Structures are given as structure tokens and as C-alpha cells.
């Protein structure tokens, strides 16, 4: 293929299956692809609505504000939800809503308007499972202004997932830069000790999870004490029960390293995620 490149043109080439570099539409090489310059929301569409919509709007708004991406988040969310209602009525879907800066420029963008994309998959609720876990001290979650946001830059979690697989474990527990417990590989952490529930606070650099928010609200409505704080790994090892949450559900940690925990079901939390 002959490619003629003018002085003011940028050409994007991708290696195809035949081993050749071919020109591709420029929208495929956006700032999400080049710099991880954006956020995303993983959401569950129930066939009629996006579950926990209020929490997703709130987190997406905070993410866009933190990264200085210009988007009318509530209207954009409503547009996504309406599209799903029209195109996939009655279909239960896992939806990844990507929001990224639509701009040219190198590291420094020339504008802050947003572009969006969707990744859709069929979703089936998975009942809680019992998992073995280990504490990974190699890949720490950095303390950054956007640490609580679900950004498109996820290399820490990718490497943690690889280490989990190599270790033959079901789950990995990550620490933050000061050595405090942060979160699991793709979930927030909770544990229970003497009737009190604990979870790392947002200053521990954990993602501000939607599942985390709805679980905390439910626990408080049930009259339980919920303590957020900065905790060393030794604190979680003293727990009676440990579990993870994300927007898809809850899973119990049966063992961390060689320490075993109670895995008695918490049905009122599990029921939050059943479709």
C-alpha cells in the first residue's frame, strides 16, 4: 500500500493479520488508545434499565471532573440507557461505557470535549463463590488525585491479574503506596470482625466502587456499624469473614495465604445483585 503523508497529516497504521501495516480510520487511534486518557463504567443493563444508575452517574461525573473531561454526564447516561432500551429490550447485558477525551495533541490535549464508546456482552448472574487469595506486595496502587476513578489506565490491575494467575489463586489483594490494604484485583474489599464491618477508605487509593456504595448503604440501613479507614494487612487477617464486591456481585474469601475465614452467606447483601 502506498501512503502519501502531507506535512499537516497524521497517519495511523495497524498491523493486520497478514503481517502488513495498513492505514486505519483515525478514530481507532484516539486518546483512550494512545494515553489511557479517560474513564469507564462497567454497568449491568437489566433489560429495562441500568441497575444502580444514580451511583454510576455520580461516579462518572466525579471522574470527568477530576480528569477535566467535558461531558454532560447525566444526559449522556440517559442517552446510553435509552439506546439499550430501544435496541435490546429484555436483554440482560454487561455494558462497558468508555468516556475519553476527544482531542488531538500529544500529552497535552488541545480541547477537553468527550467521546464515548460502548462494549456490550451478555450477562448472567454468578452466585457467590468461595475464593483463595494472596496479598501482592509487588504491584502497589499509587496515591493519585484520580486513584478512586475507574480510569482507562489499568496496568497495575493487569499485572496483578497476571501475578494472581501465576500464583494459582482465585483473587489478589492489593496494597497502596503506604502499605495499607487497598482493594482486590477487580473489586472492593469488606471484612467483618465481632459484628462490625470494615472497608478501606477512599484515601487508601481504592476505586470508588458502585457495588461498594450500595453494600455500605444496605449495611447501614440494617443497623450495622461500617468503619472506613486505612488498615494494614494484619487487620484483615484478624477478620471473621472477608468478601469482595463489584457491580456484578459479591464473593467470599475462604483463605488468604494460609489463614482461613468463615464463608457463611450474607443473603441480604447477595440479594442486592440478583437479577
Q: Does domain 31-122 have CATH number 1.10.1740.10?
A: no
For residues 102 and 113, is the Cβ–Cβ distance under 8 A? yes
**Rg, the chain, Cα only:** 21
pLDDT digits (tens, 9 = 90+) for 248-258: 999 999 999 99
CA 258 distance to own-chain centroid: 28
- Specify the 3-state DSSP secondary structure of 85: helix
pLDDT digits (tens, 9 = 90+) for 235-245: 999 999 999 99
CB atoms under 10 Å from CB of 133, counted, come to 26
- Specify the 3-state DSSP secondary structure of 62: helix
Residue 131's nearest CA partner among 258, 240, 266, 251 is 251
- The architecture of the domain spanning 130-270 is Alpha-Beta Barrel (3.20)
pLDDT digits (tens, 9 = 90+) for 102-160: 988 889 999 999 999 999 999 999 999 999 999 999 999 999 999 999 999 999 999 99
β 188-193/196-200 pair status: antiparallel
Residues of the chain with CATH 3.30.470.10: 31-122
Matching residue, cell 459484628: 195
pLDDT digits (tens, 9 = 90+) for 152-184: 999 999 999 999 999 999 999 999 999 999 999
Contacts 24+ apart (CB under 8 A), 137-141: 137/175, 138/163, 139/163, 139/174, 140/174, 140/175, 140/176, 140/177, 140/182, 141/174, 141/175, 141/176, 141/177, 141/182, 141/183, 141/205, 141/206
For residue 4, what pLDDT band results from cuts at 50, 70 and 90? Answer: low
For residue 6, what pLDDT band results from cuts at 50, 70 and 90? Answer: low
Which residues does 216 contact at the CB level (< 8 Å), separation at least 6? 199, 226
CB atoms under 10 Å from CB of 132, counted, come to 15
Helices 53-67 & 210-221, crossing angle to 10 degrees? 130
pLDDT digits (tens, 9 = 90+) for 37-93: 999 999 999 999 999 999 999 999 999 999 999 999 999 999 999 999 999 999 999
Give mean pLDDT, residues 29-43. 94
pTM of the full structure:
0.91
pLDDT at 256: 97
Full DSSP string of 122-168: E-------EEEEEEEEEEEEP--TTTTS-BS--HHHHHHHHHHHHHT
For residues 44 and 131, is the Cβ–Cβ distance under 8 A? no
Task: Report the C-alpha gap between 111 and 201 in whole angstroms.
Answer: 33
Full DSSP string of 96-124: EEEEEE---BSSSBS--BEEEEEEEEE--
β strands within the chain, DSSP E: 13-15, 21-23, 38-45, 93-101, 114-122, 130-141, 171-176, 181-184, 188-193, 196-200, 226-229, 241-246, 249-256, 259-260
pLDDT at 40: 98
Cα end-to-end distance, the chain, whole Å:
51
Residues of the chain with CATH 3.20.10.10: 130-270
Amino acid at each position: 500500500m502506498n501512503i502519501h503523508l502531507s506535512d499537516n497529516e497524521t497517519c495511523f497504521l495497524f498491523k493486520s493479520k497478514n503481517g502488513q501495516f495498513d492505514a486505519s480510520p483515525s478514530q481507532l487511534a484516539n486518546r483512550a488508545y494512545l494515553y489511557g486518557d479517560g474513564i469507564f463504567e462497567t454497568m449491568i443493563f437489566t433489560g429495562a434499565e441500568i441497575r444502580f444508575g444514580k451511583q454510576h452517574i455520580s461516579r462518572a461525573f466525579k471522574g470527568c471532573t477530576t480528569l477535566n473531561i467535558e461531558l454532560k454526564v447525566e444526559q449522556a447516561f440517559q442517552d446510553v440507557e435509552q439506546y439499550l432500551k430501544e435496541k435490546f429490550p429484555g436483554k440482560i447485558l454487561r455494558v462497558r461505557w468508555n468516556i475519553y477525551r476527544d482531542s488531538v495533541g500529544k500529552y497535552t490535549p488541545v480541547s477537553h470535549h468527550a467521546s464515548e464508546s460502548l462494549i456490550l456482552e451478555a450477562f448472567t448472574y454468578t452466585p457467590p463463590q468461595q475464593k483463595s487469595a494472596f496479598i501482592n506486595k509487588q504491584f502497589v496502587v499509587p496515591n493519585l488525585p484520580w486513584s478512586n476513578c475507574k480510569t482507562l489506565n489499568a496496568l497495575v490491575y493487569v499485572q496483578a491479574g497476571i501475578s494472581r494467575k501465576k500464583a494459582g489463586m482465585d483473587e489478589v489483594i492489593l496494597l497502596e503506596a503506604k502499605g495499607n490494604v487497598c482493594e482486590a484485583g477487580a473489586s472492593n474489599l469488606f471484612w467483618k470482625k465481632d459484628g462490625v464491618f470494615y472497608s478501606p477508605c477512599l484515601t487508601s487509593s481504592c476505586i470508588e466502587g458502585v457495588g461498594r456504595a450500595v453494600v455500605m448503604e444496605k449495611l447501614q440501613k440494617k443497623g450495622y456499624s461500617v468503619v472506613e479507614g486505612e488498615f494494614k494487612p494484619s487487620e484483615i487477617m484478624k477478620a471473621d469473614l472477608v468478601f469482595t464486591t463489584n457491580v456484578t456481585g459479591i464473593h467470599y474469601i475462604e483463605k488468604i495465604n494460609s489463614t482461613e475465614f468463615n464463608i457463611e452467606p450474607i443473603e441480604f447483601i447477595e440479594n442486592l445483585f440478583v437479577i
